Structure 1
Amino acid sequence: MKTILENEKLILRHEPGKGAWTYHLVIPGTKDIRGSWGAMKVSGTIDGYEFKDLNLAPVTNADKMISVNGTIRKAINKGGGDEVIVTMYKNSDNKLRSEDQLFDIFNDAGMLTKFKALPNDEQEEIIDTILSQPNESRQEQKIMAAIKKLS
């Protein structure tokens, strides 16, 4: 897991009428973390209360945020405007970062020989398509499509 915050003081924000986002924390330094809704999961603590697998919500051109539900607010006895101490980790993603990792997957699937038999431009296109995906889930979809095509 990658540390995003460690014992950071944040203000629990309250914005009526925002549904699940009425109470939320804006997470500093997260503007450049890439990922789509539901693909960025975080775990950690808020005032010692442990949370797991909350969505780190994308906000256009701004730091991301997490919703702080009633269960958490009740457990920490805090409301809008209160200061909280947050430690947060981005749940590890197993996104592939290199050709070698991809070759290992093709090898495990028994498809490396067939993949290597493709013309170089087709190999490069498959590699680029898979490695350029924004998250592990999308990479898995492209890998499965490539393996299906190779079989």
Structure 2
Amino acid sequence: MAEPLDATFTAPIRVDGAFPTYIELPGSHDLLGTRKPVKVSGTIDGHAFDATLMPSGQGPHWLPVRAALKKTIGKDAGADVEVRLTARR
């Protein structure tokens, strides 16, 4: 069963990380209570996704953003998106 999680934030889609495009999750260590990978569900600009938040090694976790989701929301690197994390899987 998924653990409850309810966090909403706005952040830009970034490039040049370990993934083609990603979003940094500010305050992720405090929110998640770990610096390890965490599987999550949620929405980006209202569109559902499942992903694994990956520790960046520099502080915040990174949320990889798949090309198909960027196409669906019509946004690319540099654009701000609203992210809502709804569950830990």
TM-score (normalised: structure 1): 0.50
Seq. identity, %: 26
Partners of 1:56 and 1:26 in 2: CA distance? 9
Cα deviation per residue 1:51-79 (whole Å; 9 max; x = unaligned)? 12x11101224010111011110100100
Report whether the alignment pairs 1:2 with 2:5.
yes
* Corresponding position of 2:15: 14
CA contact (8 A) 1:9 1:86 kept: yes
Bigger helix fraction = 1
Runs of 4+ in 1 over 6 A off after TM superposition: none
- Runs of at least 5 residues in structure 1 that lack an aligned partner in the other structure: 93-151
Match of 1:80 among 70, 77, 82: 77
Whose Rg is larger? Answer: 1
Secondary structure, aligned partner of 2:29: coil
Cα deviation per residue 1:86-105 (whole Å; 9 max; x = unaligned)? 1113415xxxxxxxxxxxxx
Partners of 1:43 and 1:90 in 2: CA distance? 5
* Corresponding position of 1:34: 34
Highest relative contact order (Cα 8 Å, sep 6+), 1 or 2? 2
Partners of 1:66 and 1:13 in 2: CA distance? 10
Aligned residues: 84
Cα drift, residue 36 of structure 1:
3.1
Aligned Cα root-mean-square deviation (Å): 1.9
TM-score (normalised: structure 2): 0.81
